[in-house]
Structure 1
Amino acid sequence: MPLKKVAGAMLLGAGLMFSSVSFAASPEDTLVLTLKDGDVVIALRPDLAPKNVAQIKELVREGAYDNVAFHRVIDGFMAQTGDVRYGDMKDGYDAANVGTGGSDLADLPAEFTNTAHFVRGTVGMARAQNPNSANSQFFIMFSPAPPLDGQYTIVGEVEKGMDVVDKIKRGSEADNGSVSDPDKIIKARIGADK
């Protein structure tokens, strides 16, 4: 899916992280991403984005995110992944189209909030210019990005493992963060599923 250009940077649908409220997710609402340098534990936020979180959980349980590339990583901004159609590095990685695909599931309605803000560790949904076009792609913020507030769907926040996120291979500044030979999600699982 194409991403919206704002001030020369491509934007993606994103979750907002609470700065004043601590959220402890149940195992059912905990997403664990195993990367090359360790695990990233994400508290999913069905209270903010029930439809988007439900779709992520469905895709995780199908194994759709396993081996999927972090295809767009911009230093000081975010790391984007989740293109289950073109981003599977084990079976069908398509460097020319990665970042434009989604899943076979329907696109999702926007679930924006005014109660949270894009800060370091926020996880949100990538989308095209249409606010109701999020599907499977998501990103993790390296730094705050107030221009994204209220514009993209919040799906979670990193509880543990930002040091692992910080080690994700960065993309080319000349190519808007596109990563050659990218890092990937080795395995994604929901905390309740042992």
Structure 2
Amino acid sequence: MTTNRDRQRAAARARLEREMADRAENSRVRRRRNTMIAAGAGGLVVLLGVAWLVVALTKGDDKKTEAGADPSASAAPTSCTWLPLVDPSASPKPEIPKEVKDVGTPPTSGEPRTGTQLMTLDTSVGTVKIEMDTAHAPCAAASFTYLASKKFFDGSKCHRLVTSGIYVLQCGDPSATGMGGPTYRYAEENLPTGRRPAYTEGMVAIAKTQDPSSSGSQFFIVYKDIESLQADYTVLGKVTEGLDLVKKVAEAGVVPDAQSQSEGDGAPKTEVKINTMTVAPAQG
């Protein structure tokens, strides 16, 4: 016969098992959320297989903070390094996938390192203006300035909308597959380390893989504060006009992606096409 003590012990064990299962699930959800942004860009590295992502971070670069933080917190590099996706010394040289758009690489010096630049997106849903933080994200700004001058983004679609866990509209892939970008990568900078939440409404940041120095052309617009995303992604700047348009796109919802584990992750139901992207000169 089962005693009261036995029943109490059984109930306690059941509670403990439930708590452990809940903790494991919460941990899994947090990990998935923190890799959501990387998932699309990461596909490119998987596709290449032998992609050459040389780590070119100066010691301490991963501790940089966003605009307004103490600029003396770490030593900023004085030039930008553009890292080729494919090892040029490999034999035979791997083919660059069709999702990658080759327009060369930005200049290796001379990029603005003060003030801001205005990036204007003429899209199918209206005009979105982004103030790029040239002072704190000079290499990212230089990359976007260069790519815009090559019409890299013109005619591309914002391929991803996330409405659950994280709240972003992701653009910048000419192939609209989540695996596209330029033939180079560069180091992360201007990370919002120490901020809670790290990524807030109106921020524009750059997608990357889980590897360092893997920033490319894909960027995401944050339309609602994100509590769970870690400070791993370069803050390019902030939206100064058109955030209401992004919010309307988010309200319309997503086309479910069969490969995604989240119902709120897929292509936006309202198509967002970047007709043209232009960048104005730096403003001191």
TM range (shorter): 0.7 to 0.9
Structure 1, unmatched stretches of 5+, are 88-97
Partner residue, 1:12? 37
How far apart are 1:183 and its partner, in Å?
2.0
Letter in 1 for 2:277: A
Aligned residues: 170
Partner residue, 1:42? 130
Contact 1:75 1:142 (8 Å CA) reproduced: no
Contact 2:133 2:141 (8 Å CA) reproduced: yes
How far apart are 1:57 and its partner, in Å?
0.9
Structure 2, unmatched stretches of 5+, are 1-28, 39-64, 70-113
Q: Counting strand residues as a fraction of each chain, which structure ranks higher?
A: 1
The one of 235, 238, 241 aligned to 1:157: 238
The one of 142, 154, 160 aligned to 2:223: 142
Q: Does 1:107 align with 2:188?
A: no
How far apart are 1:19 and its partner, in Å?
9.9
Secondary structure at the aligned position of 1:158 is classed as strand
- Structure 1 segments of 4+ aligned residues over 6 angstroms from their partners: 16-20
Measure, in 2, the Cα distance between the counterparts of 1:49 and 1:124. 10
The one of 141, 145, 165 aligned to 1:53: 141
How far apart are 1:178 and its partner, in Å?
2.1
Secondary structure at the aligned position of 1:39 is classed as strand
Partner residue, 2:272? 183
1:71-96 Cα shifts (integer Å, max 9, x gaps)? 11012610001013x13xxxxxxxxx
Letter in 1 for 2:143: Q
Contact 1:17 1:123 (8 Å CA) reproduced: no
Using a 3 Å threshold, how does the CA distance of structure 1 residues 160 and 6 change in structure 2: closer, same or farther?
A: same
Measure, in 1, the Cα distance between the counterparts of 2:203 and 2:218. 14
Measure, in 1, the Cα distance between the counterparts of 2:194 and 2:122. 29
1:41-94 Cα shifts (integer Å, max 9, x gaps)? 10001222111111011111111111111111012610001013x13xxxxxxx
Using a 3 Å threshold, how does the CA distance of structure 1 residues 124 and 184 change in structure 2: closer, same or farther?
A: same
Letter in 2 for 1:81: C
Letter in 1 for 2:254: G
Partner residue, 1:171? 254
Q: Counting helix residues as a fraction of each chain, which structure ranks higher?
A: 2
Using a 3 Å threshold, how does the CA distance of structure 1 residues 6 and 134 change in structure 2: closer, same or farther?
A: farther
Contact 1:121 1:141 (8 Å CA) reproduced: yes
1:66-85 equivalence runs, <5 A: 66-75=154-163, 77-84=167-174
Partner residue, 1:92? none
TM-score computed with the length of structure 1 as normaliser: 0.75
Q: Does 1:125 align with 2:213?
A: no
How far apart are 1:115 and its partner, in Å?
6.7
Measure, in 2, the Cα distance between the counterparts of 1:118 and 1:188. 23
Moved more, 29-38 or 176-185: 176-185
How far apart are 1:114 and its partner, in Å?
2.9
How far apart are 1:149 and its partner, in Å?
4.4
Letter in 1 for 2:216: N
Measure, in 1, the Cα distance between the counterparts of 2:245 and 2:68. 21
Using a 3 Å threshold, how does the CA distance of structure 1 residues 180 and 157 change in structure 2: closer, same or farther?
A: closer
The structure that has the greater radius of gyration is 2
Percentage of pairs with the same residue:
24
Measure, in 2, the Cα distance between the counterparts of 1:192 and 1:115. 31
Secondary structure at the aligned position of 1:79 is classed as strand
Measure, in 1, the Cα distance between the counterparts of 2:230 and 2:141. 18
Larger relative contact order (CA 8 Å, sep ≥ 6): 1
